[in-house]
Amino acid sequence: MADNLKLLAAGLLIAAGIAGFYFFADSPTVVRVLSVLGGMGAAVAVAWYTTVGQRFFAFSQESVTEARKVVWPTRKETLQMTGVVVAFVIVMALFLWMVDGLLMYLVKLLMGRGE
């Protein structure tokens, strides 16, 4: 129950930050943006102390650890695979264009409008 109240408070802090953005409509943009960022920062600080917040933080750390394990392709591999994809797209586009033209010709022929 306490976690739900903390999450509700976090949501209200976000809403307060957004409301501040519109409340300070005549103020400089920096003040308006700081209002939103302040509300978001306060909401994150409150949500941090919930069970959900702690699980999210642990998940984020595990995600970073897993991302470091990934073997990223080299520049050469990336360019080669991009070339293969572009070539495949061009070939498929030409194939579908020809099929579409053939089907359009056959439909015109069946409807008596053939050339």
How confident is the model over 2-57, as pLDDT tens digits? 888 998 999 999 999 999 999 998 989 999 999 999 999 999 999 999 998 899 99
Where along the chain do its domains lie?
A: 2-69, 72-115
The token pair that represents 38 in the structure block: 């302040």
Q: Is the dihedral of CA 76, 79, 82, 83 positive or negative?
A: negative
What is residue 64's predicted lDDT score, i.e. its pLDDT? 95
Q: DSSP H helical segments within 24-111, as ranges?
A: 29-48, 51-69, 75-110
Query: Is residue 24 a contact partner of residue 32, using CB atoms and an 8 Å limit?
Result: yes
pLDDT tens-digit series, residues 57-87 = 999 999 999 999 999 999 999 999 999 999 9
Is 34 in a helix, a strand, or coil?
helix
CA dihedral 29, 43, 41, 31 (to 10 degrees): 20
Query: What pTM did the predictor assign?
Result: 0.55
pLDDT over 70, % of the chain: 98
Rg (alpha carbons) of the chain, rounded to whole number: 28
Residue with tokens 């949501």: 11
Beta-carbon contacts of 15 under 8 Å, excluding residues fewer than 6 positions away, are 39
